[in-house]
Amino acid sequence: MPLHPFDEATALETAGEHTWQGRTSPAYGNMVGPFGGITAAQALSAVLRHPQRQGEPVALTVNFAAPLEDGPFEAIARPARTNRSTQHWQLELRQQGQAVLTGTAFTALRRDTWGADEHTMPSAPRAAEIPLPTARKRVEWVNRYEMRFIDGGFPEHWDGRDTGSSRTRLWVRDAPARPLDHASLTALSDVFFPRVWRRRATLVPIGTVSMTVYFHADAAQLAEVADGYLLGQAQAQVFRAGYFDQSAQLWTEGGTLLATTHQVVYYKE
Amino acid sequence: MPLHPFDEATALETAGEHTWQGRTSPAYGNMVGPFGGITAAQALSAVLRHPQRQGEPVALTVNFAAPLEDGPFEAIARPARTNRSTQHWQLELRQQGQAVLTGTAFTALRRDTWGADEHTMPSAPRAAEIPLPTARKRVEWVNRYEMRFIDGGFPEHWDGRDTGSSRTRLWVRDAPARPLDHASLTALSDVFFPRVWRRRATLVPIGTVSMTVYFHADAAQLAEVADGYLLGQAQAQVFRAGYFDQSAQLWTEGGTLLATTHQVVYYKE
């Protein structure tokens, strides 16, 4: 059975105690270089493969330091501090000896405690009731996701009016469908198209500079989701002087909040 | 004129090309070790002092890898990648040769663009109309901030009932008042007491493990705020298996969103 494109893209070969060799995946190509979500997943993948890893991902921050060139990269994941049940990681992706991504991750052994989902899932029609978009895909990576927009999809007309809201809600999963894990959830945290496009109905040049993912489920819980749809919601808080932020949530169909994620994005004009 | 306690706390002495020497400040003492906000500000302070710095802070992530012991620390801020108008930093605080904080920062030269504050400031009575809390301060750092709670203050009774909401709104500024800058805004991003205490009306043990700040204003805009009050709002999204997240916003009295900030926090029970 052929590997799923996501597993092919996030495969890494050992190249040292804290170093792996990977390569960019044409299946996840973006306008220039790869989809940022797959790059973030590749960085986390180094942590997930590390023989010294303790616990499961709770927090991940990646900074896109330079555009990746298509081809090989080195992934470095180094434990900076190992405590009794938690571990802090320093991350880097390098090409031609230069950092193209920097980051940190936090893994932990989690314990059962009191819990509550305070940000509850918005009500929405079921995924199957929402048609798939028919528009031509501008970039390859979009074909790797099944996206069914509940509201706030791509503007129908790029007429440059201020729409007053940057919010998008959609059902989303890998295409072809694939069981959920922390690496694929990382990539899914970046599927939301740039909020400035939605707010302004204008395709200005953009680029994510920093992205943080908080994971609220362990591997067993993610395995239970299997290849079910996730409800994703994303919205910006402020656009100013060339940078905006956006925050997003990803819930299971049953309403369990699996990940909350934030990013700051460069935009031109 | 004596230094403001904040400036005293964030003073660093050069100790190498990318290394500074600092020390924890009793004025910002917490239950155990220092207030996390001051530690984050100390880490950013190394970037702000770096002679190779380009631009101003846009994003900062710090991870609290181990409790700081009272006393000296080494602060390391290393430019990982310098582009034409942006720069990526790797951060570390060390004590006894071990990482106690890891992090990354992103600085940039910002340009005027279209902009909008999408997350608008909630309406609230003016700061002067809200009395200062009279309760005994449990920890020293709380005396370094003037906090006037609009709603969602400390529970009046720690009776362990689920209050159903973790939201807090307050007016806040340094005490004594001090002109705002990126370092003090970083510390202010961490003044919100742990959301799990508010939600559960229970003082469970907690500790922030990772905190991200997105800065939406440059030094000139912060200088204009001077020592005015900021309206802060914080709320959790999910509590599960020993960790919860919280997101917060800080607006000027005039309603400009200066910073959005997120953290993931360990809690027991």
Q: Where are the domains of chain A?
A: 5-109+132-267
Question: Which H/E stretch holds residue B39?
Answer: helix B36-49
Task: Please return the burial class of B213, using the count of CB atoms within 10 Å of its CB with bins 0-12, 13-18 and 19+.
Answer: buried
For chain B, how many residues are written?
A: 269
| Interchain CB distance below 8 Å, B110 and A165 | no
Please answer whether residues A166 and B114 qualify as being in contact, where contact means their C-beta atoms are separated by less than 8 angstroms. Answer: no
Yes or no, beta carbons of B260 and A245 under 8 Å apart:
yes
Radius of gyration of chain B (CA): 18
Phi and psi torsions of A188, nearest 5°: -65, -25
Q: Pick from B56, B61, B89 the residue to mutate for testing the A interface (most A CBs within 10 Å).
A: B61
Task: Write out chain B residues lying below 8 Å of A99, CB-based.
Answer: 80-81, 88
CA distance A23 to A100: 13
Number of H helices, E strands in chain A: 5, 13
Maximum Cα interatomic distance, chain A, rounded to a whole number of Å:
56
**Mean local confidence (pLDDT), A11-20:** 98
Ramachandran angles phi, psi of B21, nearest 5°: -110, 130
Amino acid letter, A6? F
SS3 B199: helix
Hunting for tokens 């009793």 — which residue is that? B26
- Sign, CA torsion A36/A41/A47/A49: negative
Looking at beta carbons, which residues of chain A come within 8 Å of B94? Answer: none
DSSP B165-183: ---EEEEEEESS-----HH
- What is the per-residue pLDDT for A256? 98
Q: Could you tell me the CA-to-CA distances from B250 to A267, B133, B264 in Å, in that order?
A: 22, 20, 18
Residue to substitute from B85, B202, B210, interface A, most A β-carbons within 10 A: B210
Look at A210 and B61 and tell me if their CB atoms are within 8 Å.
yes
B25 and B5 Cβ atoms separated by less than 8 Å: yes
What is the pLDDT at residue A135? 78
pLDDT digits (tens, 9 = 90+) for A86-137: 999 999 999 999 999 999 999 999 999 999 999 999 999 999 999 998 877 8
For residue B241, the Cα-to-chain-centroid distance in whole angstroms is 25
* Closest CA in chain A for residue B245: A214
| Per-residue confidence (pLDDT) for residue A127, from 0 to 100 | 96
Span B28-79, pLDDT tens digits: 999 889 999 999 999 999 999 999 999 999 999 999 999 999 999 999 999 9
Preferred mutation among A68, A89, A91, A113 to probe B, highest tally of B CBs within 10 A: A113
**Average pLDDT value for residue range A169-190:** 98
Q: Do A241 and B165 touch (CB under 8 A)?
A: no
Under CATH, which number does the domain A5-109+132-267 receive? 2.40.160.210
Q: How far is CA B237 from the centre of its chain?
A: 19
| pLDDT of amino acid B34 | 98
Cα separation, A69 vs B14, whole angstroms: 37
CATH of B1-109, one of 2.40.37.10, 3.40.50.80, 2.40.160.210, 3.40.50.2300: 2.40.160.210
Superfamily of domain B142-269: Acyl-CoA thioesterase, double hotdog domain (2.40.160.210)
Decide if B1-109 and B142-269 have a common fold.
Answer: yes
Cis peptide before B176 (omega within 30 of 0): yes
Asked if A81 and B90 come within 8 Å (Cβ–Cβ), the reply is no
pLDDT in tens, A44-53: 999 999 999 9
Of B59, B236, B269, Cβ closest to residue A114: B269
Query: CA of B5, closest CA in chain A: separation in Å?
Result: 30
Mean pLDDT, rounded, for A230-249: 98
**Cα(A92)–Cα(B200) distance, integer angstroms:** 39
Is the pLDDT at A1 greater than 80? The verdict is: no
Which pLDDT does position B138 carry in this prediction? 85
Q: Which residues of chain B have pLDDT under 70?
A: none
> H or E element: which one contains B22?
strand B19-23
Residues of B in contact with A216 (CB under 8 A): 238, 240-241, 243, 245
8 A C-beta contact, residue B92 and residue A80: yes
Residue holding tokens 């939605």? A198
The one-letter code for the residue type at A134 is: T
Query: CA A130 to CA A172: how far, in whole Å?
Result: 11
Distance from CA of B63 to the nearest CA of A (A): 8
pLDDT at B28: 98
Distances (CA, A) of B237 to A128, A235, B242, B263: 27, 15, 14, 11
